[in-house]
Amino acid sequence: MSTDTVVVRRGSAEVKIFKATDKYPYYRVCYYTGGKRQVQTFADLGKARDEAELRANQLSRADGWAAQMDSRDRVIYLDAKTYVDPLGVRLDAVAKEYAEAKELLPEMQLREAVEFYRKFFPQDVDSRPVPDVVKELIAQREKDGCSSAYTKDLRLRLQRFARTFNCPINSLTPGAVSRFLEGLNVGARHQNNYRRVIQTLLKFAQQQGYLPEEVDMMKGVRRRKEIDEEVQIFTADEFAGMLKHAVANQSPVLPVLVLGGLCGLRNAEIRRLHWADVKWEEGHVEIKKGTAKTRARRTAPISENAMAWLGGYTEATGKVWAGAE
């Protein structure tokens, strides 16, 4: 070997350094990768030797095949190693996992999928089963003094929902909720009522920290269009016939008919009303804010006609309507 050539060997790998000459006034580092001769030039012998040592080590190590790639593939490989090495994961394992994820979500970037997952499953969210959250919501509403009719409606609808989804509440998806609603096989208004209580449940879960606040689960759940039907109005003769029938049969529905038909109270207000709220001497019904739909106190006058029909109830106590809600 010429004294003008320095050979760096590592195992069977060999890299040569050709010293500067009149024809080539620089140091040349030469080695073979992929069957092709590679040449790099340096003005300084020390830098040329460092590069030769690096290339010889690459060729001799288990990943020496990287040094035998063409320049473009080598850059790609080394860049990939730079990203992966801090994770302590092999490059082939990363490639395999990426390929599997891309096969499942070909239309989405992997980072987008991860961000979507982190949005729905953040690490700081306390995941709770749907049935447990339903129990907490109902208990909270009862503690807040909500009416028995309201809590009964919550219980009936949400217990059915909980039986269907016995899973962490943050694993719900808009598609799953939509399929549940469509599977009820009920009318638009009934389905929308279910949608309303489910939305109440999810908002409660957000307040308790069981769902991230950024997630609007119901945004992707459509609200069905309700067809407004014409309200049927009784004629005076029809309503009088209903009152007479109630009197003849001593039906407890008589006060309901009178207060609703002649005093203008809503059904929900009558169900919550007590006889103590009927002020006989003042001639009005007091609808307290806990009874009124608007949560604001108001009064409804008792006409002479209504007073005549209710004459047998002036000493009555307890709830006006004691039947099933």
Residues 261 and 213 in one domain: no
Whether residue 38 contacts residue 69, with contact meaning beta carbons closer than 8 Å, is answered with no
Domain C-terminal end among 220, 254, 274: 220
29-88 per-position pLDDT tens digit: 998 876 678 899 999 999 999 999 988 887 776 455 665 667 777 778 878 888 888 888
User: Using N-to-C axis directions, what is the helix angle for 91-104 and 110-120, rounded to 10°?
Assistant: 80
Look at residue 124 in the predicted model and tell me its pLDDT.
64
What pLDDT sits at residue 164? 95
Tokens of 156: 């009936």
pLDDT value of residue 62:
45
User: What residue ranges of the chain have pLDDT lower than 50?
Assistant: 1, 62
Cβ-based neighbour number of residue 115 at 10 Å = 10
Percent of the chain with pLDDT over 90: 36
Instruction: Tell me: do 184 and 252 sit in the same domain.
Output: no
Closest residue by Cα to residue 186 from 178, 174, 194? 194
Tell me how crowded residue 249 is: count the other CB atoms within 10 A of its CB.
Answer: 10
Instruction: Assess whether 209 and 141 both reside in one domain.
Output: yes
Indicate if 210 and 261 belong to the same structural domain: no
In terms of domains, do 146 and 196 share one? yes
**Which residue range is the domain that position 10 belongs to?**
5-68
Helix (H, G, I), strand (E, B) or coil at 18: strand
